[in-house]
Amino acid sequence: MAKQYETVIGLEVHVELATKTKIFCGCSTAFGGDPNTHTCPVCTGMPGSLPVLNKKVVEYAMAVGLATNCTITQDCKFDRKNYFYPDNPQNYQISQLYLPICRDGHVTIETANGPKDIRIHEIHMEEDAGKLVHDDFTDSSYVDYNRSGVPLIEIVSEPDMRSAEEVIAYLDALRMAVQYLGASDCKLQEGSMRADVNLSVREVGSSEFGTRTETKNLNSFKAIARCIANETERQIDLIEAGEKVVQETRRWDDNKEYSYAMRSKEDAQDYRYFPDPDLVPIHISDEWIEQIKQDQPELRPEKKKRYMEEYCLPEYDANILTGVKHLADLFESVVDFGKKPKEVSNWLMGDTMRLVKEKEMELEEIDFDAKHLASLIDLIEAGTINRTAAREVFEHIFEENIDPVAYVEEHGLKQDNNEEGLRSIVSEVVKNNPKSVEDYHAGKTKALGFLVGQTMKASKGKANPALVNKLIMELLTK
Amino acid sequence: MSVLNLTAVSLGKKIQAGELSAVEATQEVLAQVERVEKDVHSYVSYDGEAALKRAKEVQQLIDEKKLTHPLAGVPVAIKDNMCTKGVTTTCSSKILSNFVPPYSSTAVEKLEAAGAIMIGKTNMDEFAMGSTTETSAYGITRNPWNLDHVPGGSSGGSCAAVAANEAIYALGSDTGGSIRQPSSFCGVTGIKPTYGTVSRFGLIAYGSSLDQIGPVAKDVRDCATILSTISGYDSKDSTSIKREDYDFNQYLGQDIKGLRIGVPKGYFKEGLDKEVADHVLSLAKTLEAQGAVVEEFDLSLVEYAIPAYYVIADAEASSNLERFDGVKYGYRAKEYNGLHDMIKKSRSQGFGPEVKRRIMLGSFVLSSGYYDAYYLKALRTKALIVKAFDEAFAKYDVILAPAAPTTAPKIGSSLADPIKMYLGDIYTISVNLAGLPGITVPVGKDKNGLPIGAQLIGNRFREDVLFKAAYAYEQTKTYEMCDLAQKGVN
Put simply, the answer to whether A270 touches B322 (Cβ < 8 Å) is no
**Angle CA(B378)–CA(B382)–CA(B386) in degrees, nearest 5?**
170
Q: Are A168 and A102 in contact (CB under 8 A)?
A: no
| Pairing mode, strands A248-253 and A258-264 | antiparallel
Inter-chain touch B323–A91, beta carbons under 8 Å: yes
Answer for the pair B323, B209: CB distance below 8 angstroms, yes or no: no
Q: Which residues of A touch B363 (CB under 8 A)?
A: 272
Who's near A2: CB < 8 A, 6+ residues apart? Answer: none
Q: Yes or no: say if B299 and A16 are a contact pair by the CB < 8 Å rule.
A: no
Catalytic status, residue B155: no
| pLDDT value at residue B285 | 97
Q: What is d(CA A45, CA B167) in angstroms, rounded to the nearest whole number?
A: 32
Domain residue limits, chain B: 3-254+438-446+462-486
Architecture in CATH of A419-476:
Orthogonal Bundle (1.10)
Contacts of A27 in chain B (CB under 8 A): none
State the Cα–Cα distance between residues B403 and B439, nearest whole angstrom: 9
By C-alpha distance, the chain B residue nearest A141 is: B339
- A 436-475 near B (Cβ less than 8 A): none
pLDDT for res B213: 98
Interface test with B, best of A49, A81, A139, A269 (most B CBs within 10 A): A49
Strand (E) or helix (H) holding A172:
helix A164-181
Amino acid at B433: L
A270: nearest CB among B201, B319, B368: B368
Where do runs of H (alpha helix) occur along B114-216?
156-163, 180-186
Question: Are the beta carbons of A278 and B207 separated by less than 8 Å?
Answer: no
3-state SS assignment for residue A425: helix
Annotated domain spans of chain A: 5-288, 312-410, 419-476
- Mutation pick from A77, A81, A144, A278 vs chain B, by most beta carbons of B within 10 Å, is A278
B345 catalytic residue (yes or no): no
Amino acid present at B145: W
Give the chain A residue nearest B235 (alpha carbons): A52
Question: How far is A46 from B85, CA to CA, in rounded Å?
Answer: 13
Domain B3-254+438-446+462-486 = CATH 3.90.1300.10: yes
Give the span between the Cα atoms of A15 and A12, in whole angstroms.
10
- What does each of the 478 residues of chain A score in pLDDT, given as a tens digit? 578 999 999 999 999 999 999 999 999 999 888 999 999 999 999 999 999 999 999 999 999 999 999 999 999 999 999 999 999 999 999 999 999 999 999 999 989 899 999 999 999 999 999 999 988 888 888 999 999 999 999 999 999 999 999 999 999 999 999 999 999 988 888 888 999 999 999 999 998 999 999 999 888 889 999 999 999 999 999 999 999 999 999 999 988 888 999 877 666 789 999 999 999 999 999 999 999 999 999 999 899 999 999 999 999 999 999 988 889 999 999 999 988 899 999 999 999 999 999 988 888 889 899 999 999 999 888 888 888 888 989 999 999 999 998 988 888 778 777 788 888 888 888 888 888 888 888 888 788 888 888 888 888 777 888 888 888 888 887 7
User: What pLDDT score was predicted for residue B1?
Assistant: 61
Identify the pLDDT of residue B261.
98
Judge contact between B330 and B96, C-beta under 8 A: yes
CA distance B287 to A178: 66
Interface contact flag, A46 B101, Cβ < 8 Å: yes
Distance CA B79, CA B90 (A): 10
Residue A303's nearest CA partner among A320, A288, A291 is A320
Burial class (CB in 10 A: 0-12, 13-18, 19+), A269: exposed
**Is the bond preceding B154 in cis, omega lying within 30 degrees of 0?**
yes
B178 given a catalytic annotation: yes
Q: Which residues of A touch B343 (CB under 8 A)?
A: 84
What is the pLDDT at residue A190?
A: 81
What is the mean pLDDT of each successive set of 10 residues along chain B, which is 490 residues long? Answer: 92 97 98 97 98 98 97 98 98 98 98 98 98 97 98 97 98 98 98 98 98 98 98 98 96 97 92 95 97 94 90 98 96 94 97 97 95 96 96 98 96 86 90 98 97 98 98 96 84
DSSP type of residue A149: T
- Most B-contacting residue of A80, A133, A274, A276 (CB-CB within 10 A), to test interface: A274
Q: Quote the CA–CA distance of B451 and B144 in Å, as a whole number.
A: 11
B21, B154, B184, B318: which one is catalytic? B154
Q: Tell whether A92 lies on the interface with B, counting CB pairs under 8 A.
A: yes
Q: Do B205 and A48 lie within an 8 Å CB cutoff?
A: yes
Report pLDDT digits (tens) over A333-360.
999 998 889 999 999 999 999 999 998 8
Hey, are the CB atoms on A48 and B325 less than 8 Å from each other?
no
Q: Cα angle at A187 between A185 and A188, to 5 degrees?
A: 150
Compute the nearest-CA separation of A92 from chain B (Å).
Answer: 7
* CA gap B356, B89 in Å, rounded: 20
Inter-chain touch B101–A48, beta carbons under 8 Å: yes
Contact (CB, 8 A) for A105 and A71 = yes
> What is the SS3 assignment for B97?
coil
Instruction: State the catalytic residue, choosing from B10, B104, B105, B178.
Output: B178
DSSP letter, residue B267: G
